[in-house]
Structure 1
Amino acid sequence: MRKVNFTRVLAFSLHSWLGLISGIFLLLLGLSGSALVFLKETDHFINADLLQVSPTGEPLPLDTIYRKIGRQHPNLTGIAWLNPNAAKEEAYEFRLYQNDGKISTYDLGMMSINPYSGRILRDGNLKDFNPSFMNWILQFHWSFQLGLPGLLLATLFGITMLLSTFTGLIIYRKYIWKVFSFQVKMKWTNWRTISSDLHRVVGVWALFFNVVIFFTGFWMNKFSFDTSYWKKQTVSAPANVLADQSADQMFQTARNAMPDLIPQNVYLPTQAEKSFRLSGPLKDQSPFFYSGNTVSINPVTGKVSKMERLTDKGFMEKVEATFFPLHVGNFGGIPVKVLYVIIGLLPGLLSITGALLWWRKVKKRYNWAN
């Protein structure tokens, strides 16, 4: 009598149900994630006529643009300048943090501005295809365009995907070395053998990458479990309180305080309790670490209020600083990005082959019953 491996049976049952529950979302997250690997490049290619500007003298002061945005959008929780290292022919890109008091919307906006004329080139919310389809995909990847409930859903699917990966490891553990040593050959006999072999082979090869992608995605979105964060989103943003000090002067003060910092993101405060922040990597910092270095400026006094260096942080904070690069693949140039595009498509392929395997099993049971 054949001995039943209850661990494997349980793992197979969990693997099947987790795949069925999260399959379509896995496919959507994988497709959108692959598209986002080249977010900036694709966005600038699609909107080249809009985002490429003609330099005419010196760019306008940052403070002028900051206050222009503040007048255009009088109720913001903050503004982020996303490309402080923009080329001379490149429009400035800003992320607008909004709050309409509804948890059903993820309140992110964007604005592109010609730095020489101050002309607004595009302005809108990430929940809309216009002003930027690529940025719509970005917000879809975070929240399925369903606001905070969607963000929580995406975080939960990160957990189900990790569980699905681990149960798959239990089911196919005997094939791992065989797949890695190319001992398993694909059978192209029919759709049943193709789907079965693809699911096994692709699942093994994608095992490590799936754990990295799913875990880092979950970890970066774990704030969606914070009830205080949800409560804050139910209170609409009050009227802007812009900085007393010049944004240009605060920027220069931050640069002087940490001269080896490469500006990557500039946070411009629009509320009284917020600070001006300059963040980015250091000149000798590994691309595996995402920022971790910040200079904060008091917007009333214009003086440095806080400085943080990744080198001074604890081990876990340094590990966490690698999560964003590992999730998006921005640490190794074009070859790594192309690899991440392929990696992003693998979960979708696994969801399709998994669904085919499930259908084969259901059909087999139906035929046996009849």
Structure 2
Amino acid sequence: MKLARRIFALHSWLGLIAGLFILVFFLTGSIIVFREELNLWEHPHLLRVAPKAQRLPYQTIYERVSIQVADTYLYSFRRLPKTPGETIEMRIYEPSTGRYGLLYVNPYNGEVLGKTFDSLYDILLTIHYEFYLGKFGEFLAAIFALALLGSVITGLYVYRKSLLKVLLFQFNGKWTNWRTISSNLHRIMGVWGLLFNLILALSGFWMMKYALEVRTHFSSKPTVEETQAPPVVRVNLDKLVQQTLTLFGGRVNNVSFPRQEDAPVRIYATSPGQNWLYGEYSSYAEFDQQTGAVKTVFRERDLSNLERFEYTLYTLHFGQYGGLPIKILYAFMSLSGAVLTVTGFLLWYRRKKFRKQTTLIRTSDKDRLRPSYSLKH
């Protein structure tokens, strides 16, 4: 078998075996890219409040929330308000139910507005990366993300001669029936979505590759954070936030509370001119939870080459940059990836049906041409 035929066969089988799961990747991805919009549509009363003169200090908010939800572990101010009407989003863990979730707080009076554990976004995200199959689903997601990556790379080879024609709008295919339509759509969307699908497949696999470490991944032991209540933050959070702003001179994005007795308070910030490709979590300062002394200052320039690569992949995968236009582009490209999966199956079905018909014709021809012998002759 020639190399080209082998690569084509590999391309076909990768898509066929993983096709349904890849379709799930694309369909759910086209929706969850609108994370903020989904949450605001579903829980407007949790994400928006009437603006007032001045917000409460972060330390006051932390203390008031601790009193209102004494049975809940507070892990961070996950998302701080960027506009006067936004609420504070906190990452929480509920030991009584064993669930991670989000808690929303009015920044003007410290009132807990509510919790969410299974929002529409949460459900779609869980389907996206584990198919609601738990750790086994994460393992499958890693395998199928790798299959998608292989499918994209082999597809590049299969359609290598069509790349320039399609990109330069010089491809003139027939659109006479479902066979030619599916073939043309597969070719055109495959070429135009090549870079996008390559980035999604590579970044998706990179984030899920931990699930391939079977021995540790399938361990059922709970984490230390899930069995022990986090220590109460004693140092004034507002002083730490101000120190962080002085160090980075930009915007504070997240305040992460210590989850163990010897852990620091970590505050993520963005500096002016920081590369958007590295996201909002590549720079941070760490403080002693008892004294408030600075323990670590990590800036963008301190990132290793591997870390730069990883942060870039994460940013490009989630599409949370560039505002609504980028989200719409991601949704459109994800839907085109879904069409690519469906047309790939149709092409395989057409080839299978054609081979079956060819086999029947050859068998019929052999029967007609076979000499007829008789005892009478």
Distance 1:91 1:101, change over 3 A: closer
Q: What's the TM-score, normalizing by structure 2? A: 0.84
Structure 2 counterpart of 1:24: 20
Q: Which has the higher contact order (CA 8 A, sep 6+)?
A: 1
State the alpha-carbon separation in 2 of the partners of residues 240 and 286 from structure 1: 33
State the alpha-carbon separation in 1 of the partners of residues 96 and 12 from structure 2: 40
Partner SS, residue 223 of structure 1: helix
Structure 2 residue corresponding to 1:108, chosen from 100, 103, 109: 100
> Is the CA contact 1:180–1:205 (under 8 Å) kept in the aligned structure 2?
yes
State the alpha-carbon separation in 1 of the partners of residues 303 and 27 from structure 2: 35
Q: Check if 1:91 corresponds to 2:87.
A: yes
Structure 1: stretches of 5+ with no match in the other structure: none
State the alpha-carbon separation in 1 of the partners of residues 97 and 50 from structure 2: 39
Distance 1:98 1:324, change over 3 A: farther
Structure 2 counterpart of 1:345: 335
Between the aligned residues of both structures, percent identity stands at: 34
Structure 2 residue corresponding to 1:296, chosen from 264, 286, 299: 286
Structure 2 counterpart of 1:263: 252
Q: What's the TM-score, normalizing by structure 1? A: 0.86
Alignment of 1:319-358 (within 5 A): 319-358=309-348
Distance 1:124 1:332, change over 3 A: closer
Structure 2: stretches of 5+ with no match in the other structure: 361-377
Structure 2 counterpart of 1:115, which letter? P
Task: State which drifts further: 289-298 or 331-340.
Answer: 331-340
Structure 1 counterpart of 2:30: 34
> Is the CA contact 1:30–1:345 (under 8 Å) kept in the aligned structure 2?
yes
State the alpha-carbon separation in 2 of the partners of residues 73 and 142 from structure 1: 32
Q: Offset of 1:307 from its aligned partner?
A: 1.0
Q: Offset of 1:192 from its aligned partner?
A: 0.8
State the alpha-carbon separation in 2 of the partners of residues 151 and 101 from structure 1: 22
> Is the CA contact 1:253–1:303 (under 8 Å) kept in the aligned structure 2?
no
RMSD: 2.6
> Is the CA contact 1:151–1:224 (under 8 Å) kept in the aligned structure 2?
yes
Q: Offset of 1:229 from its aligned partner?
A: 6.0
Task: State which drifts further: 230-239 or 90-99.
Answer: 230-239
Structure 2 residue corresponding to 1:234, chosen from 206, 222, 225: 222
Cα displacement string for residues 325-356 of structure 1 (whole angstroms, at most 9, x for unaligned residues): 21123333333332212111122111100111
Distance 1:14 1:67, change over 3 A: farther
Distance 1:168 1:114, change over 3 A: same
Aligned residues: 355
Distance 1:314 1:193, change over 3 A: same
Q: Offset of 1:70 from its aligned partner?
A: 4.9
Structure 2 counterpart of 1:45, which letter? W
Q: Offset of 1:45 from its aligned partner?
A: 3.4
State the alpha-carbon separation in 2 of the partners of residues 154 and 80 from structure 1: 28
State the alpha-carbon separation in 1 of the partners of residues 275 and 285 from structure 2: 19
> Is the CA contact 1:186–1:198 (under 8 Å) kept in the aligned structure 2?
no
Structure 2 counterpart of 1:315: 305
Distance 1:157 1:98, change over 3 A: farther
Q: Which has the larger radius of gyration?
A: 2
